[in-house]
């Protein structure tokens, strides 16, 4: 295998084109502890050995249990490993109805401090504002709080999660934004303007749920995913690859600044995800996948 291309996050963090999303290292409904914590720790160690050099997590995963598991498995961290976490989202149960949004500056400061403590670091490599939907503080004050924490050294790079293009522009007037993460995949391309705005301003764009074949609102409709899979299957077969590998390889063609963070809990699946970096789609195949949006 040839040396894989690296992508730069912020000014100095160099990582592979595909990272790892830790949201599944939790209990059912992303709530509570991962059922087999020893297996979770073993998986994380194997993931880093397999080539993962960016782990994406959040304080709301568990809550708190994913961050704690990462520390248990990997601390002291390898020098090359980048850990990104997030704050500003809360939940009191596994149901979606229990999710809430908090942008209060005091809460965000506390969240960042506690994430650093759980992860066992003095400085968080990449810290995201987890949502642009909080209304208990102005968006400018929320971003300003993270900018203040960066000046104090607690945060190395600032990211934005689930924001609008307008919010990204507003944030950039306050501070540098290193990364933007949003729901984006072959079926869900409603955030294309955000992708364009992110990479156009020098940030990396981090798609979450990158291998899903489901668009927003289609969770109970199987016809859409089945139709997409029917198009992707011959492409996968031609390369001796899987459909998820094809979707990841396609994402990498969207921009050199796209950095997917697929989630999994099996090392075999994780290695397949990483190997998608080596899959080169033909221009015709890319055009075929592009046309799915139409």
- Structure tokens, 49: 């050995």
- Identify the residue whose tokens are 């198009």: 231
> Residues 58-72, buried b or exposed e (16+ Cβ, 10 A)?
bbbbbbbbbbebbbe
Closest CA to 198 of 150, 147, 174, 164: 164
| DSSP class of 173 | T
Q: Are 261 and 210 in contact (CB under 8 A)?
A: yes
Three-state DSSP class for 287?
helix
**Alpha-carbon span 218 to 166, nearest angstrom:** 26
Residue 127 is a catalytic residue = no
User: For the chain, first and last CA: distance in Å?
Assistant: 36
In the set 20, 34, 61, 77, the catalytic residue is: 61
Q: Side-chain half-sphere of 86: how many Cα atoms within 13 Å? A: 29
Of 271, 211, 245, give the one whose Cα is nearest residue 47: 271
- Active-site amino acid positions: 61
């Amino acid at each position: 295998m040839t040396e894989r291309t690296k992508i730069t996050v912020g000014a100095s963090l160099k990582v592979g084109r595909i990272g790892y999303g830790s949201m599944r290292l939790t209990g059912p409904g992303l709530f509570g502890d991962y059922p087999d914590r020893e297996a979770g720790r073993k998986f994380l160690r194997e993931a880093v050995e397999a080539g993962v050099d960016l782990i994406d997590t959040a304080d709301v995963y568990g809550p708190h249990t994913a961050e704690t598991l990462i520390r248990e498995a990997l601390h002291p961290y390898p020098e090359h490993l980048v850990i990104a976490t997030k704050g500003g989202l809360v939940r009191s149960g596994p149901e979606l109805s229990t999710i809430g949004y908090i942008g209060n500056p005091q809460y965000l400061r506390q969240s960042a401090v506690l994430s650093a403590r759980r992860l066992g670091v003095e400085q968080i490599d990449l810290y995201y504002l987890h949502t642009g939907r909080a209304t208990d503080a102005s968006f400018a004050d929320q971003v300003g709080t993270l900018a203040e924490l960066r000046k104090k050294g607690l945060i190395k790079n600032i990211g934005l999660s689930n924001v609008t293009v307008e919010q990204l522009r507003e944030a950039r007037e306050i501070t540098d934004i290193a990364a933007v993460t949003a729901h984006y995949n072959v079926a869900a391309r409603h955030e294309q303007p955000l992708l364009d705005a992110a990479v156009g301003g020098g940030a990396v764009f981090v798609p979450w749920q990158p291998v899903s074949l489901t668009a927003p609102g289609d969770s109970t409709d199987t016809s859409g995913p089945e139709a997409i899979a029917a198009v992707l299957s011959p492409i996968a077969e031609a390369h001796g690859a899987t459909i998820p590998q094809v979707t990841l390889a396609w994402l990498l063609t969207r921009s050199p600044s796209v950095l997917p963070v697929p989630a999994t809990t099996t090392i075999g699946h994780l290695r397949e995800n990483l190997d998608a970096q080596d899959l080169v789609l033909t221009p015709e195949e890319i055009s075929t996948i592009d046309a799915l949006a139409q």
